[in-house]
Structure 1
Amino acid sequence: MSQPDPGYRPEQGPRPPWGAQPQWGAPQPGAQPQWGSQPQWGAPQYPGQAWGAPIDPRWPGGGPPPYGQPRYVAPPKPGIVPLRPLFFGEIMDGAFQTIRRNAKTMFGSALIVRAVTGALSTVAALGMLGMVRPPVGGFTSQDEAMRYLGPIMSASAGILGISLLTMVLEAILQGVMVIPVARSALNRPTGFKQMWSLARSRIWPLVGLASLLLAGSLVFFVVLFVLAALILTGLGPAGALLLLPLGFGALVVFIWIYTKLLVAPAAITVEELGVFAGLGRSWALTTGNWWRIFGITLLVAFMVGIIGSVIQIPLSMASGGVTSVFAPHAGASQVTTTTIVLLVVSQVVAVLISAVGFAFQTSVAALIYMDLRMRRDGLDVELLRLLESGEDPDGVPGRRRAPQAGPRPWPSNPAQGFPTG
């Protein structure tokens, strides 16, 4: 009958004393733990860390990164925005920084356009102000009515023409001013002359785009007006009940198309596309991002409008009391002179405010375009390559890159992903 193994044999050496327990020490990298060794404090916590180096605070709990996962590295930000798809706050901050770094270029260009259109609008308004008042008893003949209504209709047509000219110039300027925004992403300043020199070859495509958008807007509203007239003619007063949903639906369609074509001027300028190719490019880039683009555009327009109104409210309130305070018994000529002076001052202030607002809105639209290309085409990778190589320092970043088909693939590692908001 076999005996149980006591677990100790004399040939193995003396028996360890009773009560002594083995003490484990901290294992060295690549070595086995030794009996009776003490922990080695300050040893590397994970491969690649130097002896005595502090724990990386970027990891939760101050510990090492999970085994097998790469360390997170923040994307570079050489200019106004980080070179990755952008958040809303980064778009706003980038627009402010673009205007601050290229103040003469962007604000100067916007101010010239606004000053020209503002001066024409002021002349038209002064022309209407100097017209005679209608007779108290009404018009006694058709000739008298035409003498009164003719100048008013001419002035109204002039104001409409000025508004259309403003739309064309703004569409052109929106495409031109995307150049300093794209260059600022790589911290490259852009002068006034340099901006227009880089945009020289794109002026005529931008003019064609502006003309096409203007013609499309006119046709849209003319068709809407004719349709409303036909409804009122055919149904009479009951047709007015259909005009409200018709007008609301037309407004929704117009806003939807406007948002889809928002980045067409930027695409024509940066990617050197034609008019219709630029429209198609804008339509493709905004697919799947319509609500985000609409929300950003609407919020920016609301902010610019509120700020402009707050600045102009004191001037409007003061204009109403200037005549009664300083000239309470003024004659007709003095009242007219005061009104003209206040109109000119108000127009100057409005031009300055609108120039700043337009420069900011244009910068936001350009950053939206860059964000869409980063998400779909990997433009951030191209910008990183330009940043590292220093290639084409006087050109437009992204101009030489051919658009890729399909959306940008989602990264396999969430730690290196890009935002969706």
Structure 2
Amino acid sequence: MDSSGGFTPPPPPPPPPGDGQGAGGPGLPQRGIGEILSTAFEIYKANASSLLMIVAIVVVPLTFVSAFIGGVLFAPDTETITVLGEPVGEVSARTASAAFLVFLVGIVIAVIINAVLQAALMRGAALGSIGDPVDIDASYKWGFARFGSVLLISILVGLVVLVGLILIVIPGLIFAVMLSVAIPALVVENLRGTDAMSRSWNLVKGHFWHAVGVIIVAGIITAVVGGIVGAIGGVFGDNWFLSWIFQAIAQIITAPFAAIVSVLLYLDLRARREALTADGLRAELNRAA
């Protein structure tokens, strides 16, 4: 009641959570392309030793085996053909089965790297995005535990994109963008298979060109850095060991950045639709652990 004998109107209700404020504190910000990339570099810098080690643990031994098989066991070999004691030409002494074996080994290595490494790296990147420490052992335990789920999503996305590429190319590129944050959805929200793909599709929908811009610019950065390091290894020509070292370094350097950008794109797309806070994200990661 006020001094005139009337009733004082009640204060207005507090604003609902969202638009930057949620139950767990300030909401995660919406970021432009430049902000996503600069934030990715900051997270990379703050967690460089852990993220690089996560990649190196897998990349170093597996790429060594691949390089050794290709550079030593199945190095180019020829036999000289002679007629009446005179050399008339050379033919390969390697068989088609040997080349096919090298191809199969490379496929197996790629599957292992892309599944386990993506899971472990993106788990670490998601933790790093909210300022939590990146634990190498915990990231790999999580990665191996979700190996099958990541592999399934990778296969399903790959098949969808392949079908789209067969259909005049453009649909395949669209599908690749629309499904680009399916694995981060698995890592953060523990969504599996087609659920993760549907989540990615719904998040990217309405922000397609924003996602395209992030993917293209990040891809150019990783390609340039990887290309420069790989080119240094190419200087050594037939020395498979030195070439392997630089190829491994290129993957170790670029893989964490690509994973961080993927996670940040996913979080940015969620921030544009939901009132997601750091505490809420941390709770989701704990539930997905």
Number of the residue aligned with 1:297: 215
Number of the residue aligned with 1:156: 103
Name which of 128, 132, 136 aligns with 2:77: 132
Task: Say whether residues 1:309 and 2:195 are aligned partners.
Answer: no
Sequence identity percentage = 18
Deviation at 1:103, TM superposition (A): 1.8
Task: Say whether residues 1:189 and 2:133 are aligned partners.
Answer: yes
Task: Say whether residues 1:396 and 2:277 are aligned partners.
Answer: no
Unaligned runs of 5+ in 1: 1-74, 77-81, 138-143, 225-245, 321-338, 387-391, 402-421
- CA deviations over 1:176-212 (Å, ceiling 9, x no partner): 233323332xxx3333235456xx3x75445223234
Task: Say whether residues 1:272 and 2:187 are aligned partners.
Answer: no
Alpha-carbon contact 1:182-1:397 (below 8 Å) kept? no
Task: Say whether residues 1:168 and 2:65 are aligned partners.
Answer: no
Alpha carbons of structure 1 residues 284 and 206: separation in structure 2 relative to 1, 3 Å? farther
Number of the residue aligned with 1:366: 263
Task: State the number of aligned residues.
Answer: 256
Deviation at 1:280, TM superposition (A): 1.4
Kindly report which structure 2 residues correspond to 1:311-330, keeping only aligned pairs within 5 A, or say none.
Answer: 311-317=229-235, 319-320=236-237
For 1:220 and 1:372, the matched residues in 2 are separated by: 21
Kindly report which structure 2 residues correspond to 1:55-94, keeping only aligned pairs within 5 A, or say none.
Answer: 83-94=28-39
For 1:273 and 1:214, the matched residues in 2 are separated by: 15
Number of the residue aligned with 1:285: 203
Deviation at 1:135, TM superposition (A): 5.5
The higher-RCO structure (CA 8 Å, 6+ apart) is: 2
Aligned-partner residue type, residue 189 of structure 1? P
Number of the residue aligned with 1:249: 168
Unaligned runs of 5+ in 2: 1-19, 22-26, 83-90
Structure with max Cα Rg? 1
Deviation at 1:94, TM superposition (A): 1.1
Alpha-carbon contact 2:232-2:246 (below 8 Å) kept? no
Alpha carbons of structure 1 residues 103 and 148: separation in structure 2 relative to 1, 3 Å? same
Deviation at 1:171, TM superposition (A): 3.5
Kindly report which structure 2 residues correspond to 1:7-22, keeping only aligned pairs within 5 A, or say none.
Answer: none
Q: Which runs of 4+ in 1 moved over 6 A?
A: 144-147
Number of the residue aligned with 1:209: 150
Greater helix fraction, Structure 1 or Structure 2: 2
Number of the residue aligned with 1:180: 127
Aligned-partner residue type, residue 396 of structure 1? R
Name which of 238, 242, 249 aligns with 1:352: 249
Aligned-partner residue type, residue 208 of structure 1? S
Deviation at 1:293, TM superposition (A): 0.9
Alpha-carbon contact 1:260-1:290 (below 8 Å) kept? yes
Aligned-partner residue type, residue 106 of structure 1? L
Alpha-carbon contact 1:174-1:265 (below 8 Å) kept? no
Number of the residue aligned with 1:416: none
For 2:68 and 2:126, the matched residues in 1 are separated by: 33
For 2:185 and 2:130, the matched residues in 1 are separated by: 15
Deviation at 1:309, TM superposition (A): 2.1
For 1:161 and 1:193, the matched residues in 2 are separated by: 23
Deviation at 1:361, TM superposition (A): 0.8
Alpha carbons of structure 1 residues 311 and 123: separation in structure 2 relative to 1, 3 Å? closer
Alpha-carbon contact 1:168-1:214 (below 8 Å) kept? no
Greater strand fraction, Structure 1 or Structure 2: 2
For 1:205 and 1:275, the matched residues in 2 are separated by: 11
For 2:81 and 2:220, the matched residues in 1 are separated by: 42
Q: Which moved more, 1:161-170 or 1:257-266?
A: 161-170
For 1:180 and 1:127, the matched residues in 2 are separated by: 41
